[in-house]
Structure 1
Amino acid sequence: MSFTPITTPKVVKSLFPTLVWDIPTKGKDIYLTFDDGPTPKITNWVLDTLKQYNAKATFFCIGKNIEEHPDVFKNIISEGHSIGNHTYNHVKGWKTKTKDYLNNITQAKKIIDLHVKESEIGNQDLFRPPYGQITPKQIKKLQEQSYKIVMWNVLSVDWNKKVSTETCLNNVINHTDSGSIIVFHDSVKASKNMQFALPKVLKYFNEKGYTFKRIPE
């Protein structure tokens, strides 16, 4: 039976101290992130929901999805959110040779660059490894290319269909604090849980005086 920790264990953070797990802040700031898009209808629903709370977020996008849905990707940019690289076709770092992994990321970067070069934010070279799988050698090579590798400290586990909508919501509500980086997915697989939890997360923390920011800011 597999177990997915909602919060990142301290020992994992200590093993990879150069990765971004959270963002120290003196204010009441939270960092929402969305992986695996852009996805028709779902990503636009997320954008509309975020706008209701004047919330900004960071979208770690798959290059192939950007190619297939450029208009949806442009909507993310036009709404003023940050963009991150999530490889070209969601490859697993642990099962991919470093050279092939880097080429896959570069392929996605070229697609991202075409769209964001004239945007307000531009390409900040943020990267998140699919499944959180990345080797020390891959980390070193990416950082040599000035990538900021962004992980998380709160998982909603929205992609898991065995997780109820209420549990998905509580995963976020019960573990989020100032500086937290939260993972949702704007994908078909995660849509039921994500669409239930996201508005409630936004409302809950908004009423407590938190601000939702993009990475970096």
Structure 2
Amino acid sequence: MQTLLLWMFYISTFYAFIPALVSRIFGFRVFRRGKSEQEFALTFDDGPDPVYTPQLLDLLKRFDAKATFFVVGINAEKHPELLKRMHDEGHLIGIHNYVHKSNWLMRPVTVRRQIAQTEEVIRRVTGKGTTFYRPPWGIVNFFDISKTNGRRIVLWSSMFGDWKASIGAKQLAERMLKKLRGGEVMLLHDCGTTLGADEEAPQNMLIALEKLLMVAQERQLRSVRVDTLFGQPVLISAASEMAGTGWFKKTLVFGWLLYERLFHTLFRLRPVSKEDTIFYYRRRTYRGPNVNMENGRWLKKGDPIVELHFDNKMLFHLGSTAKSMVHLAIQLIRIVKRQLPDLAHQLVHDSGMNGVKAVYAVSMINRGPEKLGFQIQELPKGLFKGASTIYLKLLFSVIHPSGLEQLNEKKEVMVPKLIVMPIDTLFARFHQREAYQADSALGQTNQLGAAHVLHGEVNDEVSSI
């Protein structure tokens, strides 16, 4: 009995708790917040409701505000005229399951059936399907985020407890106004008939929302659909990148990216760029062999350094969409060059980086980084070199679609090396004027397993391109 309970605990942790934690805290495979300065998103769950949804649509129309409705399929089926009105008035319609039931309590096949059933209702009424999905209570299971089948999971950056009538319209408005800013994804409800909600609660929401829209108008903030807020590309496109990939590879990639998120959090790595960063960095004490950098300067054991790490999610995205090895290499080169100034800018303005002597990474690069100002050094034989080789080869096999084949074909060049750039060289080359671009070409990081592509093939072939 004890063994059975233990196994049930392990399964529930893997199936439910860990995916929910990762998606909520780290935003893995979900959209929670936009980057706009002047636009925010109003999202409404649980409807359509015959009493409150028409009032809500009237209010949004009055302020020329667009919103996103995550509808419960059974409610949409009962009130197709409201679904059609949402669509006709330019709002985005998403899926909130066919019945309002937690994904933790359903098998993966049941969840897929709930989604498909709801989409069929939407398609039948509006003539269009939808790729946007919000699970009830924002709770995902392992299969929701490992195999989304092109679905874009949307959570939120702020919620206000508007499903409870006891909060009152005044207090609710105060809570909402505190969160009124660009990029915010607000969670509200236009139906009070679900478990734990009060039936009359949406009336308070409507009063508070009117106040919010008036203030937003004064501040020149605009309510937009979530697809407008995050601009349709990326952030949640991993499903299409994984199409055609076997279940084992999908699981491996998911686990690897989860590990990376945890690593970044535990060791407080910082992104080089706010948008689509290719690098993360942290301050460390150098523990390797002495390195003659340039002009008689040495990097010695105990010196403070900036350690660089590649963003594996970005690498996987690039590797999955690249048409060829050369195409992948060119993409990496462009990103590295574009983000090196970001790194320099960030280090100059980060007081915690005062006194660092160099930027440093371990990589499988053969040629190329020296053109950006890096020096390449052989790693001394030993445990660190052996462990780094195993780690980076495993990384490369996971990140790149043909990683294993590349490892077999190019064994002689898949060797980790130390790359170093004196900090003043970085500043001299890339911190000019007040360039916003500052740090991402720190590129070739610890995770540069895939960056072998950047220099192993590119130097030989890019010149002809």
Distance across 1 between alignment mates of 2:60 and 2:38: 17
Distance across 1 between alignment mates of 2:215 and 2:110: 42
Alpha carbons of structure 1 residues 172 and 97: separation in structure 2 relative to 1, 3 Å:
same
TM-score by length of 1: 0.87
Q: Which AA in structure 1 matches 2:126?
A: V
Higher RCO structure (Cα 8 Å, ≥6 apart): 1
* Cα RMSD after superposing both structures: 1.7
Aligned match of 1:133 in 119, 131, 139?
A: 139
Aligned match of 2:174 in 170, 173, 178?
A: 170
Aligned match of 1:53 in 31, 55, 63?
A: 63
| Aligned-residue offset at 1:58 | 0.5
**Does the aligned pair in 2 maintain the 1:159–1:193 contact within 8 Å?**
no
Distance across 1 between alignment mates of 2:118 and 2:69: 13
Counterpart of 1:17 in structure 2 is 28
Distance across 2 between alignment mates of 1:12 and 1:146: 17
Q: Rg: which structure is higher?
A: 2
Counterpart of 1:28 in structure 2 is 38
Instruction: Write the mapping of 1:95-174 to structure 2, written as runs, cut at 5 A.
Output: 95-117=105-127, 122-141=128-147, 143=148, 145-174=149-178
Q: Which AA in structure 1 matches 2:133?
A: F
Equivalent pairs counted in the alignment come to: 201
> For each residue in 1:44-65, what CA deviation from the matched residue of structure 2 results, as whole angstroms up to 9, or x when unmatched?
1001001111100001001101
Counterpart of 2:188 in structure 1 is 184
Q: Which AA in structure 1 matches 2:145?
A: I
2:216 paired with 1:205: yes
Q: Higher helix share goes to which structure?
A: 2
Counterpart of 1:6 in structure 2 is none
Distance across 1 between alignment mates of 2:22 and 2:170: 28
Q: Unaligned 5+ residue runs, structure 1?
A: 1-9
**Does the aligned pair in 2 maintain the 1:85–1:108 contact within 8 Å?**
yes
Identical pairs, percent: 30
Q: Which AA in structure 2 matches 1:57?
A: A
SS of structure 2 residue aligned to 1:212: strand
**Does the aligned pair in 1 maintain the 2:52–2:203 contact within 8 Å?**
no
| Aligned-residue offset at 1:11 | 7.8
Counterpart of 1:196 in structure 2 is 207
| Aligned-residue offset at 1:162 | 3.1
SS of structure 2 residue aligned to 1:184: strand
> For each residue in 1:92-137, what CA deviation from the matched residue of structure 2 results, as whole angstroms up to 9, or x when unmatched?
01121221111111111111111222xxxx4331000111111122
**Does the aligned pair in 2 maintain the 1:102–1:138 contact within 8 Å?**
no
SS of structure 1 residue aligned to 2:112: helix
| Aligned-residue offset at 1:76 | 0.9
| Aligned-residue offset at 1:14 | 4.0
> For each residue in 1:128-177, what CA deviation from the matched residue of structure 2 results, as whole angstroms up to 9, or x when unmatched?
01111111222222x2x100000000112110233222221122111232
Over 3 Å off, 4+ runs: 10-16
TM-score by length of 2: 0.42
